A and B are shown apart, each in its own frame.
Chain A
């Protein structure tokens, strides 16, 4: 076994009086992919920031090439070959790929930029990653996986020996993630040490050599990935058995149709979508990212231009805006929690009531009623916040998601569309959200769940619609509701082309 290139040795870290990391030891070896997993708030980010020089340990040591080192800043760490790639890309959108790769260390010949040398090096780097993006392409025009590759190329251009990636696949589709993994394989064989975090355990299993599990600021275990099952990882993260993640339906489904959609077309995204949603039903919506699921639903609630017939509880309706949809008891919860769901620089109260503000204004905003609503939401949804005055930006992903759900529930909807209910949140919170969705369904609220996670969409829904390239490919329910059946529909492998899946 090779000697570690970068390691933490008994690291503690406190912020003010509060200790976040307790005696964390972890080591990265050249040519090895190391996965760091744990629930939100387990201390993964802090650990990564210490490894890459963004933070210093309070006590304990960081060792590079087996010698203690104090980075004193991320730039210094980068200069020594340790690079952290953030979840949100750190690229200048308006600049070209090449300009980004050399940003801050442009090659010069005398007074002028040495464009030929930079072009040659860029080509070499992109070749090495087998990335086919053009060096002159503007970063804002390229796809997410390409951006990721540019980030990696940028890191390699700075002679990175240790690459630390914070949830690199969170913004990628499965296919895009595959491309990333191929490059990770390549880097591994070139002797780069890689650490990454992910909430997707199948990925961890697929790509990593060793895995470290953190919980409550401590390392719970480090083991070769081959010796751990996904279940074992999940159990180690949560510290308890993860049985029955999905509650069972306890109330029988009625026959009334809450929402009937016929021939819904969202130009450029979805064509001729027809389905029925029964009262109290949980209807799953599966399909590859880009298959038009989100756009279909955004069309339905009036966020996008659309045509087609919609009936709510038997009455034909026309929905031109989310406001009109909400007046009809139909609300949509976006998948983009930070960009479209919450106003990050506002507090919990303002976010909670934004969707139904007229209810709190008669005509002046009733602060007491707003506070009472927040109290109720915090209790009902188990939102854990350091204080009521906290800005939503500073809540963890799971608590943000709970607040978002609480927010749309302020509208007292009869039909709820939830897009990716548990993206990027930990298993404990996931379970709470699943329970909540079931409670809601038990109260007769009809729910559509869009999800890219097959176990989720299968475990949660009564019935699953599958979309592919803007069309509805079919529905599966009962014993036919299997991952295999859904994947075949989503990939277009089945000959079945039902237009209608009532």
Chain B
């Protein structure tokens, strides 16, 4: 192509396309908020807003980690099962320690450490299988998804693992308590999102993720340790799944085979709605946060109004996901 031709197509194309790409998710979020406020006066109430945000937090924390995995050209289907397994493991360990350590803070701290370490190792296993053994991420995490789901069912013996009653009371503030009227899960989500945004935009690691997702050969030839960066995205995601589980366990105080079902899809959907490329190469954490909020708001609005049955929540989310991908494709400068 000639230089002049390049110049011409440059001027013609990306200008408004990219803006649309950036604004799309925000516009959708604003529309949802306005629509929600018009439909139900309780929508913007403190109670409802905190409720929506707190429920978003689990998926949100995981989705931030997922943003890095997807940006680097990977995928992790195991996060939902992983969360259930970590929750089960955490409850088992804490219950075991109650007789010796009492139902207090120290047991809860041990439980938290268990959750983080378990998340780290779960992510490490995924990452090692994908980077060192060179197996497709889809296959590896499909496998571990089944494994963790089965493990938690086994740990619970097909039923439910319940947290010791005394511990439950001591642990509850982690979900229900907070600072300045903002609950811990929301604060944690906020913190994770801000850190994620900084890492993605401002560090070499974030740039490497995008480069690897665009073309891992170029990254390799540019002296980037591709395997290490990829591995770290899975480890980071695993740890964040641990964090999300720490926030989740005090909410119900139990874990079962039904815990965390379809979380992986919600997290992936949030990432894609937020404008991160499913095939990698471009990712943005703030977009993911917007994506998470969009998904939760849809559910919330359906619950608050009686226009559409809440049972159709999944259908509407599905439509939004497909729309988001169509928008992505059209806003790309060149195929």
Please report A residues at the B interface, Cβ cutoff 8 Å: 14-20, 40-43, 45-46, 217, 303, 321-323, 325-326, 331-332, 334, 339-346, 350, 354-358, 360-361, 363-365, 384, 386-387, 390-391, 393-396, 399, 407, 411
Contacts and interface: CB of A to CB of B under 8 A. Distances in A.
A16 B11 contact: yes
Chain A CB within 10 Å — which of B6, B11, B201, B281 has the most?
A: B6
B244 to A, nearest CB: 26
A358 to B, nearest CB: 6
B207 A386 contact: no
Contacts of A41: 2-4
A323 B202 contact: no
Contacts of A395: 6
Contacts of B9: 15, 394
A418 B33 CA distance: 56
Interface string B295-335: 00000000000000000000000000000000000000110
B210 to A, nearest CB: 7
Interface string B133-173: 00000000000000000000000000000000000000000
Given A386-B7, A386-B10, A393-B334, 17 more contacts: A15-B8, A15-B9, A15-B12, A18-B4, A20-B2, A41-B3, A46-B1, A303-B221, A340-B218, A341-B221, A346-B211, A354-B211, A360-B204, A387-B7, A387-B10, A394-B1, A411-B223
B6 A322 contact: no
Contacts of B5: 15, 18, 20, 45-46
A332 B221 contact: yes
A346 B71 CA distance: 13
14 contacts: A15-B7, A15-B8, A15-B12, A16-B8, A45-B5, A326-B223, A341-B218, A343-B219, A346-B210, A354-B222, A361-B204, A365-B201, A384-B3, A411-B223
A43 B6 CA distance: 12
Contacts of B6: 386, 390, 394-396
Nearest to B212: A343
Given A20-B5, A354-B224, A387-B10, A342 B218 contact: yes
B203 interface: yes
Contacts of B225: 321, 323
A40 B223 CA distance: 30
B8 A18 contact: yes
B214 A345 contact: yes
A323 B214 contact: no
A18 B11 CA distance: 11
A334 B222 CA distance: 10
Given A345-B281, A364-B203, A355 B222 contact: yes
B51 interface: no
Interface of B: 1-12, 198, 201-204, 207-208, 210-211, 214-215, 217-225, 281-282, 333-334
A322 B221 contact: yes
Contacts of A386: 3, 6-7, 10
A321 B227 CA distance: 12
Given A16-B8, A386-B7, A396-B3, A350 B220 contact: no
Contact of B217 (A42, A217, A339, A387): A339
Contacts of A396: 1-3, 6
A16 B224 CA distance: 40
A411 B219 CA distance: 15
A45 B1 contact: yes
B201 to A, nearest CB: 8
Contacts of A340: 215, 217-218, 220-221
By Cβ-Cβ distance, the 3 closest A-B pairs, closest first, are A15-B8, A386-B7, A364-B202
Contacts of A344: 214-215
A386 B3 CA distance: 7
Chain A CB within 10 Å — which of B1, B11, B214, B219 has the most?
A: B1
Contacts of A217: 2, 4
Contacts of B8: 14-18, 20
Nearest to B207: A357
Nearest to B215: A343
Chain A CB within 10 Å — which of B2, B4, B203, B211 has the most?
A: B2
Contacts of B7: 15, 18, 386-387
Given A345-B214, A390-B6, A357 B204 contact: yes
A79 B221 CA distance: 43
